Chain A
Amino acid sequence: MFDINNYPYDIEHNCLFIEGEAMVFHCNHYLTNLQRTILDADYIDSRLFLIGSAADAVFNQLTHLCDGMDRQTSRDTIESVYKTFGYGLIDLSSLNDAGGSVSTRKSFMSRTWAMKYGKSQKPVDYYTAGFLAAAFAVLFKHPLDEIHVEQTHCMACGHDINRFEIGLGTCNFSIYPAKAETVFSDAPKVPLNWEHETTITNAFLGAHVNFVGNEDGLIPAFGVYIVRNQSDFVNRLQFEFVRAMTEVAGDYGVTLAGELLMEAGHACGFFTYGGIMTSPEWDEVIRPLLSTKEDWIRGLIALINTMGWGYHTVTELSPEFAVFRNYNDFEDLSHLRMYGKSQYPVHWANSGGFTGLMQLVYNTDLVNGERIETEQGFRSMRRSTQGYKTRMTKCISCGDDYLEVKIFR
């Protein structure tokens, strides 16, 4: 059975790889917001990359993972991977060499979409469609580009179950070229320069292994559901969306898409970081070390540096202005692996997350125990006249040594 403990955390680069794929946590707020943004542009056939991005990353990972296993062991392992990562539960026993139908009542995406946006007109679990296409290909040694997959039922649409039909046929999702090897930046890191950084980082190092799917295949944590994503799956969604928007509207497409992608990161930063900073773990280990609001931000950074998103640091910090950096951030590493250099910054999720963190600490009363856990609360805060602006000033994909974001009023 799949065991997350078999994969050591890369302390030097603050990341985790599983069978060749970099892995990052994201929350339901980020992923549903990201997908809604993509689907909003209904003049783009986004289904191709919504499924294709998942199929590509999962196919690469499962091909490595199942190498040398017999079919039954592979099947059990793939089901276990899906559950461990927090996507829900799947049963692949109905699949044969020609394909089959897979149904489930446990789906992260369908459940959390309905929680946040209510009923959907169309099925929303594109990730699982891509996952199943990849699983079928690996189990029965079929080329990925000869597989057809459709989600016919979705709980987010009001159905009792999610159902997928998988088989051989005209491929209905994008197929991508092989990726380059990961290249880490060797630039010396400017440390957080905070006396409690090591204490906190060491306390939480390795804690990520506790975030595995429960009996429903879900990972409830810090007031949100989190999932462990293949980093290249989720980042390809961003990159392919911006590419498609560029085809429609040139540079304006990048600008408009970027604003909305950053908002997805903002929601993630607000809800997930807010949940972390009001959690029992925070109260027990970190809060006793904090004196100022700036300490809250540094404490959060020291913790999240154990989660696989790269090495975050902050070089200037005040309520009015902050400069955040990330060395080897997950978005840039993904871009370099899949697309090479970029003409524009691509770290929308990181940037939105930093902005959400600033809003939480300086524009709410979080440090005094106020919890904002509702969509209404998030909106009220976002409408505040005290809101922050965000500028992406350095980007590894553009040739810089690190990601840099400036946040100001």
Chain B
Amino acid sequence: MMRDAKPLLAWAETQADKRIVSRILLHMLPHFQTLGLQLTADQVEALDELLIPESTYLLLEQTAEALIAADRPELSCHV
């Protein structure tokens, strides 16, 4: 079964820093490579849909959620 990953990546972009999609793509690179996918964030944005197998989708979801959960924008990094 194939699932569209576009909505998931669009959601991730609203939850974390500007380059979160690039970070997710970096994490997922070995898995996407096995599907013959080599995408940049801009290319993802230009796609109408990004269909990937269910198993890869679940990995992508886990990755996105883990990166977002680890995100701490409330921390004050001003010195």
Instruction: Tell whether A256 pairs with B40 under 8 Å between CB atoms, given A37-B26, A115-B75, A376-B73.
Output: yes
Bound CA span A59–B53, Å: 49
Q: Counting CB contacts under 8 A, is A194 at the interface? A: no
Distance between B67 CB and nearest chain A CB, rounded to angstroms:
8
Of the candidates B29, B38, B73, B75, which one forms a contact with A43 in the assembled complex, judged by CB atoms under 8 Å apart?
Answer: B29
A116 CB contacts on chain B under 8 angstroms: 72, 75, 77
B27 CB contacts on chain A under 8 angstroms: 40-42
Distance between B73 CB and nearest chain A CB, rounded to angstroms:
5
Distance between A342 CB and nearest chain B CB, rounded to angstroms:
20
- In contact, B70 and A117 (Cβ under 8 angstroms): yes
A383 CB contacts on chain B under 8 angstroms: 18
Of the candidates A29, A255, A375, A376, which one forms a contact with B40 in the assembled complex, judged by CB atoms under 8 Å apart?
Answer: A255
B40 CB contacts on chain A under 8 angstroms: 255-256, 259
B33 CB contacts on chain A under 8 angstroms: 248-249
Q: Counting CB contacts under 8 A, is A118 at the interface? A: yes
Residue of B38, B73, B76, B79 with highest tally of chain A CB at under 10 A: B79
Distance between B78 CB and nearest chain A CB, rounded to angstroms:
4
Bound CA span A302–B29, Å: 41
On chain B, which size bracket covers the interface? 20 to 34
Closest-by-CB residue of B relative to A41 is: B26
Give the interface of A toward B (CB within 8 A).
28-29, 37, 40-43, 112, 115-118, 220, 223-225, 248-249, 252-253, 255-257, 259-260, 263, 271, 373-376, 379, 382-383
- In contact, A43 and B79 (Cβ under 8 angstroms): no
Distance between A216 CB and nearest chain B CB, rounded to angstroms:
12
- In contact, B75 and A260 (Cβ under 8 angstroms): no
Closest-by-CB residue of B relative to A381 is: B18
Instruction: Tell whether A223 pairs with B78 under 8 Å between CB atoms, given A259-B22, A379-B18.
Output: yes
Q: Counting CB contacts under 8 A, is B3 at the interface? A: no
Bound CA span A255–B17, Å: 19
Bound CA span A373–B75, Å: 11
Residue of B18, B30, B77 with highest tally of chain A CB at under 10 A: B77
- In contact, A382 and B18 (Cβ under 8 angstroms): yes
Closest-by-CB residue of A relative to B25 is: A256
A115 CB contacts on chain B under 8 angstroms: 75-77
Nearest first, the 6 A-B pairs at minimum CB distance are A382-B18, A252-B38, A118-B72, A373-B78, A375-B73, A220-B79
**Prevailing SS type, chain B contact patch:** loop
Instruction: Tell whether A117 pairs with B72 under 8 Å between CB atoms, given A42-B27, A256-B29.
Output: yes
- In contact, B78 and A374 (Cβ under 8 angstroms): yes
B23 CB contacts on chain A under 8 angstroms: 37, 40, 260
Bound CA span A112–B30, Å: 30
| Binary CB contact string for chain B from 9 to 30 against chain A (1 if under 8 A, 0 otherwise) | 0000000011100110111011
A382 CB contacts on chain B under 8 angstroms: 17-18
Bound CA span A249–B74, Å: 35
Closest-by-CB residue of B relative to A248 is: B29
Other A-B contacts than A375-B75, A379-B73, 13 sampled, CB-CB below 8 A, are A37-B23, A40-B26, A118-B72, A253-B29, A256-B40, A259-B19, A260-B19, A373-B78, A374-B76, A374-B78, A376-B73, A376-B74, A383-B18
Distance between A345 CB and nearest chain B CB, rounded to angstroms:
16
Distance between B79 CB and nearest chain A CB, rounded to angstroms:
5
Residue of A43, A249, A375, A383 with highest tally of chain B CB at under 10 A: A375
Distance between A122 CB and nearest chain B CB, rounded to angstroms:
13
